[in-house]
């Protein structure tokens, strides 16, 4: 992938309720609206009820906004943002298994890893596993350099993103907090009546 192609990508970040079926709702939306997405990662946040999705879209920001508007319609999606031009940190993690059955390949590998935020995390007689963390562009570049040595297996997590500085994308309340509060308030009212 060229760097130009990656530069064209836009990121959509969604805070979603950590409930069964939410990923299904999001995936179903992408399928039925025929949205083409590049990667989707989901993970927990510091709040147990809230998960965060990072969606990379291989199209302009107008397209990303269309996706965001549709995502926002899902009841379980708490908040959506399109990270376009604003300064942000993004990371992609790759585990790459490469051939390392001779001294030359091992030396080349060590030399490449020195120039990147990459570590050799496992070495066997025939293969080694490298862990590479960085921006999507950087990971692509690294893979291109390693490729001639002989990649036998690879997995990437997909990009996760966070805005820099005080651009905080979070939700102050979650639905379960609120549901509990409502039930407690109702019980208290009922209690007073009786």
- 72/107 with CB nearer another protein: 72
The SS3 assignment for 119 reads strand
Q: Residue 92: name the closest of 30, 38, 22, 36 by CA.
A: 38
Out of 23, 47, 59, 70, the only residue in the binding site for another protein (CB under 8 A) is 70
| Span 99-158, contacts to another protein by CB under 8 A | none
- Strands of the 39-44 sheet, one edge to the other: 39-44, 50-57, 10-17, 77-83
Residue 76 neighbours by CB distance under 10 Å: 16
Tokens of 149: 């040595």
Residue 135 neighbours by CB distance under 10 Å: 15
Out of 3, 21, 43, 153, the only residue in the binding site for another protein (CB under 8 A) is 21
Site membership for another protein, residue 36 (CB under 8 A): no
Shortest distance, position 192 Cβ to another protein, whole Å:
13
Binding site for another protein (CB under 8 A): 16-17, 21, 24-25, 28, 32, 62, 66, 69-70, 72-79, 171, 173-175, 178-179, 182-183, 185-187, 189-190
């Amino acid at each position: 992938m060229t760097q130009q192609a990656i530069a064209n990508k836009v990121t959509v970040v969604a805070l979603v309720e950590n409930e069964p079926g939410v990923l299904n709702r999001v995936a179903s939306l992408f399928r039925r609206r025929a949205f083409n997405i590049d990667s989707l990662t989901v993970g927990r946040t510091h709040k147990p009820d809230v998960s965060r999705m990072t969606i990379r879209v291989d199209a302009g920001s107008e397209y990303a906004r269309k996706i965001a508007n549709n995502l926002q319609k899902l009841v379980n999606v708490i908040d959506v943002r399109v990270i376009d031009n604003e300064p942000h940190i993004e990371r992609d993690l790759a585990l790459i298994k490469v051939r390392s059955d001779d001294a030359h390949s091992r030396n080349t590998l060590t030399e490449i890893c020195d120039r990147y935020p990459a570590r050799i995390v496992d070495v066997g007689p025939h293969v080694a596993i490298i862990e590479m963390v960085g921006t999507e562009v950087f990971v692509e570049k690294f893979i291109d350099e390693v490729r001639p040595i002989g990649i036998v297996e690879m997995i990437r997590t997909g990009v996760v993103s966070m805005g820099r500085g005080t651009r905080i994308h979070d939700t102050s309340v979650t639905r379960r907090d609120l549901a509990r509060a409502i039930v407690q308030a109702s019980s208290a009212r009922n209690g007073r009546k009786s």
